[in-house]
Amino acid sequence: MYSDVKMDVAPPRTLTELFLGFLSIGARSFGGVMPWAHRVMVEERRWMTPADFAETIGLCQFLPGPNVGNASIVLGKRWFGLRGALVAFLGLFALPFVWVMALGALYADVSSHPGARAAVIGVGAAGAGFFVATAIKLGRALVRKPGALAVVAGCFLAVAVGRWSLLVVLPVAAAVSLLLSSKKLL
């Protein structure tokens, strides 16, 4: 459709619209929020362009905190100020929070069953694999940079093998990494 190419975007007009948009992101985001955030805000409701979306998410990935949670605050602020940030954040978390509490309560009842425990631990291990896959995807861009690989290895070993506190690892890693980066070694 040509109208898709042209892409007329308009931010949400009311706080209710903002809330309902983020509510529908949270409600449907099984297996990851990011794809649904894109679907709702860029494709369905056309609040923003794909490029704008990518840039906003990019910034939020770089900041501490949950990426899409941060995006809800940044976008809510952009469109409606403090009220917008709160409304978007609450909309995003309202339904998933209820759902996860319900699952937790349900699981407490069946957790004594060995089969159920084994299955849930298996799900957790599969989820652990997502982390590894994500690290590999992000790490591909760094393969040809020895300095960057050294930082990756150092951070990995300190946390995964050394089990050191991030309170120690983060400042040291940040200092080393910034030094390398400012010398153009990353």
Q: Can residue 155 be called a binding residue for another protein (CB under 8 A)?
A: yes
Q: What b-and-e string marks burial along 96-123, b requiring 16 or more CB atoms within 10 Å of the CB? A: eeeeeeeeeeeeeeeeeeeeeeeeeeee
Identify whether the C-beta of residue 139 lies closer than 8 Å to the C-beta of residue 151: no
State whether the Cα torsion 12-14-20-23 is positive or negative.
Answer: positive
In the bound state with another protein, the residue whose beta carbon lies nearer, of 20 and 180, is: 180
**What character string, x for contact with another protein (CB under 8 A) and - otherwise, covers 97-126?**
x-xxx-xx--x---x---x-xxxxxxxxxx
Least distance (Å) between residue 37 CB and another protein: 10
In the bound state with another protein, the residue whose beta carbon lies nearer, of 54 and 138, is: 138
Residues 71-90 that bind another protein (CB under 8 A): 73-74, 77-78, 85, 89
Binding another protein by CB under 8 A: which of 8, 109, 141, 144? 141
Binding another protein by CB under 8 A: which of 68, 79, 84, 87? 68
Give the span between the Cα atoms of 156 and 28, in whole angstroms. Answer: 33
In the bound state with another protein, the residue whose beta carbon lies nearer, of 50 and 130, is: 130
Q: Can residue 50 be called a binding residue for another protein (CB under 8 A)?
A: no
Binding another protein by CB under 8 A: which of 6, 13, 137, 144? 137
Binding another protein by CB under 8 A: which of 1, 64, 83, 144? 64
Q: Which residues contact 138 (CB under 8 A, 6 or more apart)?
A: none
Q: Which amino acid is at 159?
A: V
Number of neighbouring beta carbons within 10 Å of residue 40 = 21
Which residue, 39, 52, 44, 54, is CA-closest to 78? 52
Considering only the stretches 9-17, 43-51, 64-72, report the one whose residues sit in contact with another protein under the rule CB under 8 A.
64-72
